[in-house]
Amino acid sequence: MYLCYIDEAGNGQTLGPARPDAPPVLVVGGFTVHDSHIKRLTWDFLGVKKKYRPQLLRAPHLSEVVRTEIKGSDVRKDVRVGNRDRRRAAIHLVDSVLGLLERCDARLLARVWVKQEGRAFDETGVYSTSVGSLTETFQAQLLDCHARGVMVLDSRTKSKNAPNVHCVTTRKYRAGGDLLKGVIESPVFGHSDTHTLLQLADLVVSSLLFPIACHAYLGDVTWNVHCDDAYRPLREEFGERLKKLQFRYRDPAGKWRGGIVVSDRRTARPSSLMFGAGRTVPGAVIPAQQADGGGLPSTV
């Protein structure tokens, strides 16, 4: 059994000089991990939280440590505008988070959407497309591992949650047969203050993928607060590790899919900019006769 934890960073605000604080990218992503690693990963992550927030060492109850979140948006802010000590602590936290995922053989998956200046951005449609694409990647991993799994998405509001999973539900229960046999149920929703590993997904998405995408694809934007060269160390120090943590696979047509996929609406640049130059990391090859385990469209 594998668990997949998904969170998002960014929103549907239009990108333009009139709104210098509008997120220039929307990232929907997270990680997958075998259920045998869940307890270890959770305890190790709580230890990282205590190290980053020493006051938690004096917390009288475990529930307080669980509920206290280290938001990825605060971590990337420390990287961008914090003093030397805060920047150093933020970088060390990101390094520790990646170390946790590496030790538990977790795999990253994400959809990154780079906005185009002055153009309306359909947050609901993009989020739903992202969930569908990530479910397809998760199904491919489950097929490769001969396993089954469940997706846990960070809960937003009921009106936002429901449309994001209908595309998965209809593919599982359509008359023509289940296209996502490894995913045993439509994605479920959790709250980060009760699902500790959703907090870990937030750190991956908000403190790492979001700022790296801003630096890689919007370096020429000077009027947006999120487009800052201070994020360069994240891309330079952790890009290669991110690339190796991906789960990627070839579809029956031989095309590489999965991992961290970028849709750059500004200049149509490739996903590889998230990691710098380099060859594609080998992944799984899904046999053509088993390809009906996926089937969701992949928009790049």
pLDDT in tens, the chain (300 residues): 999 999 999 999 999 999 999 999 999 999 999 999 999 999 999 999 999 999 999 888 999 999 999 999 999 999 999 999 999 999 999 999 999 999 999 999 999 999 999 999 998 889 999 999 999 999 999 999 999 999 999 987 766 767 667 777 777 877 677 778 899 988 898 998 889 999 999 999 999 999 999 999 999 999 999 999 999 999 999 999 999 999 999 988 889 999 999 999 999 999 999 997 433 344 555 543 343 444 443 333
Task: Name the nearest CA neighbour of 70 among 97, 89, 91, 52.
Answer: 52
Distance CA(142)–CA(145), nearest Å, equals 5
| Burial degree of 220 (CB within 10 A; 0-12, 13-18, 19+) | exposed
**300 lies in a domain?**
no
**76 lies in a domain?**
yes
**129 lies in a domain?**
yes
**237 lies in a domain?**
yes
CA distances from 187 to 99, 221, 242, 250, 273 (A): 27, 36, 24, 24, 30
Domain that holds residue 261: 2-36+69-293
The count of domains in the chain is 1
**57 lies in a domain?**
no
Q: Do 21 and 15 form a contact (C-beta atoms < 8 A)?
A: no
- pLDDT score at 290: 42
Please give the radius of gyration of the chain, using alpha carbons only, rounded to the nearest integer.
19
What global pTM score does this model have?
Answer: 0.89
Q: Do 26 and 113 form a contact (C-beta atoms < 8 A)?
A: yes
**45 lies in a domain?**
no
**64 lies in a domain?**
no
- pLDDT score at 175: 62
- pLDDT score at 164: 66
- pLDDT score at 155: 85
